[in-house]
Amino acid sequence: MQWCFSQVKGAIDDDVAEADIISTVEFNHTGELLATGDKGGRVVIFQQETENKNPPQFRSEYNVYSTFQSHEPEFDYLKSLEIEEKINKIRWLPQKNAAQFLLSTNDKTIKLWKISERDKRPEGYNLKEEDGRYKDPNSITKLQVPVLIPMDLMVEASPRRVFANAHTYHINSISVNSDNETYLSADDLRINLWNLEITDRSFNIVDIKPANMEELTEVITAAEFHPHQCNTFVYSSSKGTIRMCDMRASALCDRHTKLFEEPEDPSNRSFFSEIISSISDVKFSHNGRYMMTRDYLSVKIWDLNMESRPVETYQVHEYLRSKLCSLYENDCIFDKFECCWNGDDSVVMTGSYNNFFRMFERGHRRDVTLEASRENSKPLQVLKPRKVCAGGKRKKDEISVDSLDFNKKILHTAWHPQDNIIAVATTNNLYIFQDKVI
Protein backbone atom coordinates (compact mmCIF):
# COMPACT_ATOMS: atom_id res chain seq x y z
CA MET A 1 0.00 0.00 0.00
CA GLN A 2 1.34 3.40 -0.84
CA TRP A 3 0.12 6.58 0.73
CA CYS A 4 -0.22 9.99 -0.88
CA PHE A 5 -0.59 13.39 0.55
CA SER A 6 -4.08 14.77 0.13
CA GLN A 7 -4.58 17.88 2.27
CA VAL A 8 -3.24 19.74 5.26
CA LYS A 9 -5.37 21.98 7.50
CA GLY A 10 -4.11 24.58 9.89
CA ALA A 11 -1.65 27.43 10.06
CA ILE A 12 1.73 27.18 8.44
CA ASP A 13 3.24 29.31 11.16
CA ASP A 14 6.04 27.65 13.11
CA ASP A 15 5.05 29.58 16.18
CA VAL A 16 2.16 27.51 17.44
CA ALA A 17 -0.50 29.14 19.59
CA GLU A 18 -1.34 26.82 22.47
CA ALA A 19 -5.06 27.07 21.79
CA ASP A 20 -4.55 25.67 18.29
CA ILE A 21 -2.96 22.44 19.47
CA ILE A 22 -5.15 19.60 18.23
CA SER A 23 -6.22 17.34 21.05
CA THR A 24 -8.56 14.87 19.36
CA VAL A 25 -9.51 13.66 15.86
CA GLU A 26 -12.51 11.51 14.95
CA PHE A 27 -14.29 10.42 11.77
CA ASN A 28 -18.04 9.92 11.96
CA HIS A 29 -19.59 6.53 11.18
CA THR A 30 -19.77 7.07 7.42
CA GLY A 31 -16.47 8.91 7.15
CA GLU A 32 -18.17 11.85 5.51
CA LEU A 33 -17.40 14.08 8.48
CA LEU A 34 -14.13 14.54 10.32
CA ALA A 35 -14.07 16.37 13.62
CA THR A 36 -11.11 17.83 15.48
CA GLY A 37 -10.97 19.33 18.95
CA ASP A 38 -8.26 21.62 20.21
CA LYS A 39 -6.80 22.98 23.41
CA GLY A 40 -8.77 26.18 23.00
CA GLY A 41 -12.04 24.26 23.41
CA ARG A 42 -13.05 24.56 19.76
CA VAL A 43 -14.42 21.86 17.50
CA VAL A 44 -13.84 22.04 13.75
CA ILE A 45 -15.77 19.69 11.50
CA PHE A 46 -14.67 18.95 7.95
CA GLN A 47 -16.97 17.45 5.36
CA GLN A 48 -15.99 15.34 2.42
CA GLU A 49 -17.23 16.72 -0.90
CA THR A 50 -19.86 14.45 -2.38
CA GLU A 51 -19.74 15.58 -5.99
CA ASN A 52 -17.67 13.15 -7.95
CA LYS A 53 -16.17 15.59 -10.35
CA ASN A 54 -12.60 14.64 -9.50
CA PRO A 55 -10.52 12.25 -11.55
CA PRO A 56 -10.77 8.67 -10.28
CA GLN A 57 -7.36 8.65 -8.62
CA PHE A 58 -8.21 11.56 -6.39
CA ARG A 59 -10.78 11.16 -3.71
CA SER A 60 -12.97 13.99 -2.60
CA GLU A 61 -11.50 16.65 -0.40
CA TYR A 62 -12.47 17.58 3.11
CA ASN A 63 -13.51 21.19 3.61
CA VAL A 64 -14.57 23.08 6.70
CA TYR A 65 -18.21 22.39 7.45
CA SER A 66 -18.68 23.88 10.90
CA THR A 67 -16.63 25.48 13.65
CA PHE A 68 -17.86 26.14 17.14
CA GLN A 69 -16.67 26.81 20.65
CA SER A 70 -17.58 23.69 22.56
CA HIS A 71 -16.09 24.37 25.97
CA GLU A 72 -14.90 27.49 27.74
CA PRO A 73 -12.39 27.69 30.57
CA GLU A 74 -14.11 27.56 33.94
CA PHE A 75 -13.07 28.15 37.49
CA ASP A 76 -14.07 25.94 40.39
CA TYR A 77 -14.11 28.33 43.32
CA LEU A 78 -14.52 25.63 45.95
CA LYS A 79 -11.37 23.82 44.93
CA SER A 80 -9.54 26.85 43.60
CA LEU A 81 -8.90 25.03 40.38
CA GLU A 82 -9.11 26.11 36.81
CA ILE A 83 -10.91 23.70 34.53
CA GLU A 84 -9.25 23.58 31.15
CA GLU A 85 -11.34 24.00 28.04
CA LYS A 86 -9.21 21.52 26.10
CA ILE A 87 -11.33 18.97 24.26
CA ASN A 88 -10.15 15.57 25.41
CA LYS A 89 -12.38 13.42 23.23
CA ILE A 90 -15.03 13.67 20.54
CA ARG A 91 -17.34 10.79 19.73
CA TRP A 92 -19.96 10.83 17.01
CA LEU A 93 -23.41 9.35 17.45
CA PRO A 94 -24.75 7.19 14.63
CA GLN A 95 -26.95 9.31 12.41
CA LYS A 96 -30.68 8.93 13.02
CA ASN A 97 -32.11 11.87 11.08
CA ALA A 98 -30.95 14.81 9.01
CA ALA A 99 -28.90 16.27 11.83
CA GLN A 100 -25.55 15.03 13.11
CA PHE A 101 -24.78 14.61 16.79
CA LEU A 102 -21.50 14.37 18.60
CA LEU A 103 -20.32 14.23 22.18
CA SER A 104 -17.37 16.39 23.15
CA THR A 105 -15.74 16.46 26.56
CA ASN A 106 -13.17 18.43 28.51
CA ASP A 107 -11.84 17.39 31.92
CA LYS A 108 -15.15 17.74 33.70
CA THR A 109 -18.13 18.27 31.40
CA ILE A 110 -19.53 16.35 28.45
CA LYS A 111 -21.73 18.08 25.90
CA LEU A 112 -24.00 16.74 23.21
CA TRP A 113 -23.92 18.93 20.12
CA LYS A 114 -26.41 18.94 17.29
CA ILE A 115 -25.06 19.97 13.93
CA SER A 116 -27.81 20.75 11.46
CA GLU A 117 -28.08 22.29 8.05
CA ARG A 118 -30.35 25.05 7.01
CA ASP A 119 -30.60 25.63 3.28
CA LYS A 120 -34.08 27.08 2.97
CA ARG A 121 -35.80 30.01 4.52
CA PRO A 122 -39.43 30.97 4.61
CA GLU A 123 -40.63 33.96 2.64
CA GLY A 124 -44.01 35.61 2.25
CA TYR A 125 -45.31 35.98 5.79
CA ASN A 126 -48.65 37.68 6.06
CA LEU A 127 -48.01 39.77 9.13
CA LYS A 128 -44.31 40.56 8.80
CA GLU A 129 -42.14 42.31 6.23
CA GLU A 130 -39.06 40.55 4.92
CA ASP A 131 -36.86 42.40 7.41
CA GLY A 132 -39.00 41.29 10.33
CA ARG A 133 -40.95 44.46 10.99
CA TYR A 134 -44.63 43.97 11.55
CA LYS A 135 -46.92 45.19 8.79
CA ASP A 136 -49.64 47.69 9.40
CA PRO A 137 -52.70 45.43 9.77
CA ASN A 138 -54.79 47.80 7.67
CA SER A 139 -52.49 47.35 4.71
CA ILE A 140 -53.06 43.61 4.54
CA THR A 141 -55.62 42.91 1.87
CA LYS A 142 -54.91 39.27 0.96
CA LEU A 143 -53.72 36.01 2.43
CA GLN A 144 -50.69 34.21 1.09
CA VAL A 145 -49.04 30.95 2.00
CA PRO A 146 -45.36 31.46 2.95
CA VAL A 147 -43.00 29.48 0.74
CA LEU A 148 -39.59 28.02 1.48
CA ILE A 149 -36.96 29.41 -0.83
CA PRO A 150 -33.39 28.21 -1.16
CA MET A 151 -30.65 30.07 0.69
CA ASP A 152 -26.91 29.65 1.11
CA LEU A 153 -26.17 26.63 3.23
CA MET A 154 -25.87 27.48 6.90
CA VAL A 155 -24.55 24.90 9.33
CA GLU A 156 -25.63 25.43 12.90
CA ALA A 157 -24.16 23.78 15.95
CA SER A 158 -26.21 23.92 19.12
CA PRO A 159 -25.61 22.30 22.50
CA ARG A 160 -28.51 19.98 23.19
CA ARG A 161 -27.36 18.41 26.46
CA VAL A 162 -24.78 19.28 29.07
CA PHE A 163 -23.65 16.42 31.31
CA ALA A 164 -21.90 18.06 34.21
CA ASN A 165 -20.89 17.55 37.83
CA ALA A 166 -20.36 13.82 37.70
CA HIS A 167 -16.58 13.61 37.69
CA THR A 168 -14.25 14.50 40.50
CA TYR A 169 -11.18 13.56 38.48
CA HIS A 170 -10.17 14.33 34.92
CA ILE A 171 -12.26 12.71 32.20
CA ASN A 172 -10.07 10.71 29.82
CA SER A 173 -12.65 8.79 27.72
CA ILE A 174 -16.18 8.78 26.44
CA SER A 175 -17.74 5.94 24.48
CA VAL A 176 -21.18 5.64 22.92
CA ASN A 177 -22.93 2.32 23.46
CA SER A 178 -24.17 0.24 20.54
CA ASP A 179 -27.66 0.60 22.00
CA ASN A 180 -27.58 4.26 20.89
CA GLU A 181 -29.19 5.24 24.16
CA THR A 182 -26.36 5.27 26.64
CA TYR A 183 -22.73 6.20 26.81
CA LEU A 184 -19.95 5.96 29.36
CA SER A 185 -17.51 8.56 30.61
CA ALA A 186 -14.35 7.60 32.46
CA ASP A 187 -12.03 9.59 34.70
CA ASP A 188 -8.96 8.47 36.63
CA LEU A 189 -10.88 6.48 39.21
CA ARG A 190 -14.49 6.12 38.09
CA ILE A 191 -16.63 5.24 35.11
CA ASN A 192 -20.14 6.59 34.80
CA LEU A 193 -23.00 5.43 32.60
CA TRP A 194 -25.30 8.06 31.14
CA ASN A 195 -28.51 8.08 29.19
CA LEU A 196 -28.17 10.48 26.28
CA GLU A 197 -31.50 12.06 27.17
CA ILE A 198 -30.89 12.54 30.88
CA THR A 199 -28.39 15.04 32.16
CA ASP A 200 -29.12 15.25 35.86
CA ARG A 201 -28.29 11.66 36.68
CA SER A 202 -25.63 9.13 35.84
CA PHE A 203 -24.88 5.68 37.20
CA ASN A 204 -21.47 4.95 38.56
CA ILE A 205 -20.47 1.54 37.20
CA VAL A 206 -16.79 1.33 38.10
CA ASP A 207 -15.10 2.83 41.13
CA ILE A 208 -11.49 1.96 41.86
CA LYS A 209 -10.87 4.65 44.40
CA PRO A 210 -9.33 3.07 47.51
CA ALA A 211 -10.65 3.96 50.96
CA ASN A 212 -7.27 5.44 51.73
CA MET A 213 -5.86 7.41 48.82
CA GLU A 214 -2.35 6.66 50.00
CA GLU A 215 -2.95 3.08 48.93
CA LEU A 216 -3.67 4.12 45.36
CA THR A 217 -1.63 2.05 42.94
CA GLU A 218 -3.35 2.43 39.60
CA VAL A 219 -5.73 4.69 37.71
CA ILE A 220 -8.08 4.23 34.77
CA THR A 221 -6.52 5.49 31.57
CA ALA A 222 -9.09 4.67 28.87
CA ALA A 223 -12.46 2.96 28.47
CA GLU A 224 -14.60 1.83 25.57
CA PHE A 225 -17.86 0.02 24.93
CA HIS A 226 -17.85 -3.12 22.81
CA PRO A 227 -18.98 -2.24 19.25
CA HIS A 228 -21.83 -4.79 19.22
CA GLN A 229 -22.42 -6.12 22.74
CA CYS A 230 -24.18 -3.36 24.60
CA ASN A 231 -23.47 -4.98 27.97
CA THR A 232 -19.69 -5.16 27.56
CA PHE A 233 -17.02 -2.55 28.02
CA VAL A 234 -13.31 -2.50 28.78
CA TYR A 235 -11.10 -0.15 30.71
CA SER A 236 -7.32 0.06 30.75
CA SER A 237 -5.11 1.01 33.65
CA SER A 238 -1.83 2.70 34.35
CA LYS A 239 -0.43 -0.68 35.34
CA GLY A 240 -0.82 -2.06 31.83
CA THR A 241 -3.87 -4.20 32.50
CA ILE A 242 -7.22 -4.21 30.74
CA ARG A 243 -10.40 -5.25 32.46
CA MET A 244 -13.48 -6.33 30.62
CA CYS A 245 -16.78 -5.89 32.43
CA ASP A 246 -20.26 -7.17 31.83
CA MET A 247 -23.01 -4.86 33.03
CA ARG A 248 -25.40 -7.77 33.34
CA ALA A 249 -23.30 -9.29 36.11
CA SER A 250 -23.94 -6.54 38.62
CA ALA A 251 -24.79 -2.87 38.90
CA LEU A 252 -21.30 -1.97 40.04
CA CYS A 253 -18.73 -3.53 37.75
CA ASP A 254 -15.80 -3.36 40.14
CA ARG A 255 -15.25 -7.07 39.62
CA HIS A 256 -14.12 -7.70 36.10
CA THR A 257 -15.28 -10.50 33.86
CA LYS A 258 -11.87 -10.78 32.25
CA LEU A 259 -8.45 -9.41 33.11
CA PHE A 260 -5.98 -9.01 30.26
CA GLU A 261 -2.42 -8.80 31.46
CA GLU A 262 0.90 -9.81 30.01
CA PRO A 263 3.63 -10.78 32.45
CA GLU A 264 6.51 -8.34 32.32
CA ASP A 265 9.69 -9.38 30.57
CA PRO A 266 12.28 -9.27 33.37
CA SER A 267 15.07 -8.46 30.93
CA ASN A 268 13.34 -5.19 30.10
CA ARG A 269 12.92 -4.09 33.68
CA SER A 270 14.08 -0.56 34.35
CA PHE A 271 13.37 2.43 36.50
CA PHE A 272 10.73 3.50 34.09
CA SER A 273 8.99 0.18 33.56
CA GLU A 274 5.90 1.29 35.42
CA ILE A 275 5.56 4.48 33.45
CA ILE A 276 6.02 2.91 30.04
CA SER A 277 3.63 0.07 30.76
CA SER A 278 0.79 2.51 31.39
CA ILE A 279 -1.79 2.07 28.65
CA SER A 280 -2.67 5.31 26.89
CA ASP A 281 -5.41 4.05 24.57
CA VAL A 282 -7.66 1.03 24.07
CA LYS A 283 -9.74 0.39 20.96
CA PHE A 284 -11.95 -2.50 19.98
CA SER A 285 -11.63 -3.81 16.44
CA HIS A 286 -14.62 -3.13 14.21
CA ASN A 287 -15.56 -6.80 14.20
CA GLY A 288 -15.57 -6.89 17.99
CA ARG A 289 -13.23 -9.88 18.26
CA TYR A 290 -10.05 -8.06 19.19
CA MET A 291 -8.92 -5.03 21.05
CA MET A 292 -5.77 -2.99 20.68
CA THR A 293 -3.83 -1.23 23.42
CA ARG A 294 -1.09 1.36 23.18
CA ASP A 295 1.58 1.80 25.79
CA TYR A 296 4.61 4.02 25.48
CA LEU A 297 6.72 1.79 23.26
CA SER A 298 4.35 -0.71 21.70
CA VAL A 299 0.96 -1.59 20.30
CA LYS A 300 -0.60 -4.86 21.42
CA ILE A 301 -3.51 -6.72 19.92
CA TRP A 302 -5.53 -8.93 22.21
CA ASP A 303 -7.95 -11.67 21.34
CA LEU A 304 -10.92 -11.15 23.63
CA ASN A 305 -10.92 -14.87 24.33
CA MET A 306 -7.36 -14.94 25.62
CA GLU A 307 -6.41 -13.01 28.70
CA SER A 308 -2.92 -14.29 29.33
CA ARG A 309 -1.08 -12.40 26.64
CA PRO A 310 -1.64 -10.40 23.46
CA VAL A 311 -1.79 -12.25 20.17
CA GLU A 312 0.32 -9.63 18.43
CA THR A 313 2.82 -7.06 19.67
CA TYR A 314 4.26 -4.33 17.49
CA GLN A 315 7.20 -2.18 18.55
CA VAL A 316 6.50 1.41 17.66
CA HIS A 317 9.86 2.96 18.52
CA GLU A 318 11.96 0.42 20.41
CA TYR A 319 15.03 2.61 19.83
CA LEU A 320 13.68 4.88 22.56
CA ARG A 321 14.08 2.22 25.26
CA SER A 322 17.65 3.27 25.91
CA LYS A 323 16.62 6.93 26.05
CA LEU A 324 13.95 6.66 28.69
CA CYS A 325 15.87 8.73 31.21
CA SER A 326 16.08 11.71 28.84
CA LEU A 327 12.49 11.21 27.81
CA TYR A 328 11.54 11.32 31.46
CA GLU A 329 13.43 14.54 32.01
CA ASN A 330 11.84 16.27 29.04
CA ASP A 331 8.41 14.87 29.99
CA CYS A 332 7.92 12.99 26.73
CA ILE A 333 7.58 9.72 28.61
CA PHE A 334 4.17 10.92 29.76
CA ASP A 335 2.89 11.46 26.22
CA LYS A 336 -0.36 9.65 25.56
CA PHE A 337 -0.39 8.17 22.09
CA GLU A 338 -3.61 6.93 20.56
CA CYS A 339 -4.07 4.12 18.07
CA CYS A 340 -6.68 3.14 15.50
CA TRP A 341 -7.85 0.31 13.27
CA ASN A 342 -8.60 0.50 9.58
CA GLY A 343 -12.05 -0.41 8.32
CA ASP A 344 -11.50 -4.15 7.94
CA ASP A 345 -9.19 -4.51 10.96
CA SER A 346 -6.25 -5.60 8.82
CA VAL A 347 -4.02 -2.62 9.59
CA VAL A 348 -3.41 -0.60 12.75
CA MET A 349 -1.86 2.81 13.05
CA THR A 350 -0.30 4.91 15.76
CA GLY A 351 1.87 7.99 16.08
CA SER A 352 5.43 8.62 17.19
CA TYR A 353 7.92 11.51 17.36
CA ASN A 354 9.45 13.67 14.66
CA ASN A 355 5.97 13.74 13.09
CA PHE A 356 6.37 10.09 12.24
CA PHE A 357 3.47 7.71 12.32
CA ARG A 358 3.53 3.96 12.02
CA MET A 359 1.28 1.42 10.32
CA PHE A 360 1.32 -2.29 10.99
CA GLU A 361 -0.21 -4.67 8.48
CA ARG A 362 -1.33 -7.56 10.61
CA GLY A 363 -1.64 -10.38 8.16
CA HIS A 364 1.52 -9.67 6.24
CA ARG A 365 3.63 -8.76 9.26
CA ARG A 366 4.71 -5.61 7.46
CA ASP A 367 5.16 -2.22 8.98
CA VAL A 368 5.98 1.20 7.66
CA THR A 369 7.04 4.55 9.10
CA LEU A 370 5.73 7.65 7.36
CA GLU A 371 6.13 11.32 8.06
CA ALA A 372 3.62 14.15 8.10
CA SER A 373 5.48 17.25 7.04
CA ARG A 374 5.02 20.32 4.90
CA GLU A 375 7.99 19.20 2.78
CA ASN A 376 6.01 16.21 1.55
CA SER A 377 2.82 18.09 0.90
CA LYS A 378 2.56 18.40 -2.85
CA PRO A 379 -0.79 17.14 -4.14
CA LEU A 380 -0.78 13.36 -4.49
CA GLN A 381 2.88 13.18 -3.52
CA VAL A 382 3.66 9.62 -2.50
CA LEU A 383 5.03 9.36 1.02
CA LYS A 384 8.43 7.80 1.22
CA PRO A 385 8.92 5.30 4.04
CA ARG A 386 11.22 6.64 6.76
CA LYS A 387 13.72 4.74 8.81
CA VAL A 388 15.30 5.50 12.14
CA CYS A 389 18.83 4.38 12.73
CA ALA A 390 19.08 3.05 16.26
CA GLY A 391 22.83 2.99 16.46
CA GLY A 392 25.94 2.21 14.49
CA LYS A 393 26.38 3.36 10.97
CA ARG A 394 23.63 5.55 9.66
CA LYS A 395 22.64 4.79 6.12
CA LYS A 396 21.68 7.47 3.65
CA ASP A 397 18.06 8.65 4.15
CA GLU A 398 18.01 7.25 7.65
CA ILE A 399 17.58 9.55 10.58
CA SER A 400 19.46 8.97 13.80
CA VAL A 401 17.66 8.77 17.12
CA ASP A 402 19.46 11.81 18.43
CA SER A 403 18.20 13.91 15.53
CA LEU A 404 14.56 13.17 16.24
CA ASP A 405 12.50 16.19 17.17
CA PHE A 406 10.59 15.22 20.30
CA ASN A 407 8.50 18.36 20.16
CA LYS A 408 6.91 17.11 16.97
CA LYS A 409 4.71 14.32 18.14
CA ILE A 410 1.72 12.64 16.57
CA LEU A 411 -0.60 11.67 19.39
CA HIS A 412 -3.91 11.58 17.51
CA THR A 413 -4.71 9.67 14.35
CA ALA A 414 -7.94 8.46 12.76
CA TRP A 415 -8.79 6.10 9.95
CA HIS A 416 -11.84 6.47 7.69
CA PRO A 417 -14.31 3.70 8.59
CA GLN A 418 -14.48 2.34 5.04
CA ASP A 419 -11.87 3.86 2.76
CA ASN A 420 -8.13 4.18 2.98
CA ILE A 421 -8.15 7.78 4.07
CA ILE A 422 -6.35 8.73 7.25
CA ALA A 423 -6.25 11.88 9.33
CA VAL A 424 -3.05 12.52 11.24
CA ALA A 425 -2.71 15.41 13.68
CA THR A 426 0.67 17.03 14.24
CA THR A 427 0.84 19.74 16.90
CA ASN A 428 -1.46 22.18 15.19
CA ASN A 429 -1.96 20.82 11.68
CA LEU A 430 -4.25 18.11 10.42
CA TYR A 431 -2.87 16.03 7.55
CA ILE A 432 -5.13 13.94 5.37
CA PHE A 433 -3.56 11.14 3.38
CA GLN A 434 -5.14 8.65 1.04
CA ASP A 435 -3.87 5.47 -0.48
CA LYS A 436 -2.55 5.59 -3.99
CA VAL A 437 -5.22 4.44 -6.38
CA ILE A 438 -3.45 2.84 -9.30
Residue numbers of the site for other proteins (CB under 8 A)?
72-84, 86, 107-109, 162, 164-170, 188-189, 202, 209, 211-214, 216-219, 221, 238, 269-272, 274-275, 278, 324-325, 328-329, 331, 334
Min CB(118)–other proteins separation in Å: 27
Q: How far apart are CA 421 and CA 424, in angstroms?
A: 10
Measure Cα distances from 5 to 371, 387, 405, 424 in Å. 10, 19, 21, 11
Nearer to other proteins, 187 or 224 (CB): 187
Least separation in angstroms between residue 321's CB and other proteins is 11
* In the complex, minimum distance from the CB of residue 403 to other proteins, in angstroms, rounded to a whole number: 22
Nearer to other proteins, 200 or 375 (CB): 200
Shortest distance in whole angstroms from residue 177 CB to other proteins: 20
CB nearer to other proteins: give 88 or 429: 88
Q: Which is nearer to other proteins, 184 or 304 (CB)?
A: 184
The 10 Å Cβ neighbour count of residue 319 is: 16
Closer Cβ to other proteins, 84 or 338, answer by number: 84
Tell me the β-bridge partners of 224. Answer: 234
Closest to other proteins by CB, 189 vs 359, is 189
Shortest distance in whole angstroms from residue 82 CB to other proteins: 6
Q: Which is nearer to other proteins, 377 or 406 (CB)?
A: 406
CB of residue 140 to other proteins, shortest distance in Å: 43
* Burial of 70 from C-beta contacts in 10 A (0-12 / 13-18 / 19+): buried
First vs last C-alpha separation in the chain: 10
* Least spacing, CB of residue 1 vs other proteins, in Å: 36
Please say whether the beta carbons of 98 and 116 come within 8 A. Answer: yes
Nearest C-alpha neighbor of 405 from the set 341, 355, 365, 368: 355
Provide, rounded to whole angstroms, the least separation between the CB of residue 21 and other proteins: 13
Nearer to other proteins, 141 or 212 (CB): 212
Q: What's the CA gap between 244 and 434, in Å, rounded? A: 34
- The closest alpha carbon to 239, from 255, 254, 260, 225, belongs to 260
Task: Tabulate helix, strand, coil % of the chain (nearest 5).
Answer: 10, 40, 50
Q: Which of 239, 305, 318, 313 is nearest to 275 (CA)?
A: 239
Where is 328: in which H helix or E strand?
helix 324-329
Name the minimum Å distance from CB 279 to other proteins. Answer: 11
Give how far Cα 294 sits from Cα of 51, 130, 140, 283, 290, Å: 37, 58, 70, 9, 14
Strands 398-400 and 387-389, bridge-based pairing:
parallel
Q: Which is nearer to other proteins, 51 or 329 (CB)?
A: 329
In 3D space, the residue among 61, 64, 62, 113 whose CA is nearest the CA of residue 87 turns out to be 113
Q: Which residue's CB is nearer to other proteins, number 136 or number 215?
A: 215
Those residues with Cβ within 8 angstroms of residue 154's Cβ, 6 or more apart along the chain or in another chain: 117, 118, 119
Shortest Cβ distance from residue 101 to other proteins (Å)? 21
Residue 210 Cβ, how far from other proteins at the closest point, in Å?
Answer: 8
Shorter beta-carbon distance to other proteins: residue 111 or 226: 111
DSSP 389-408: E-SSSPPTTEEEGGG--TTS
CA angle 17, 412, 169 (to 5 degrees): 80
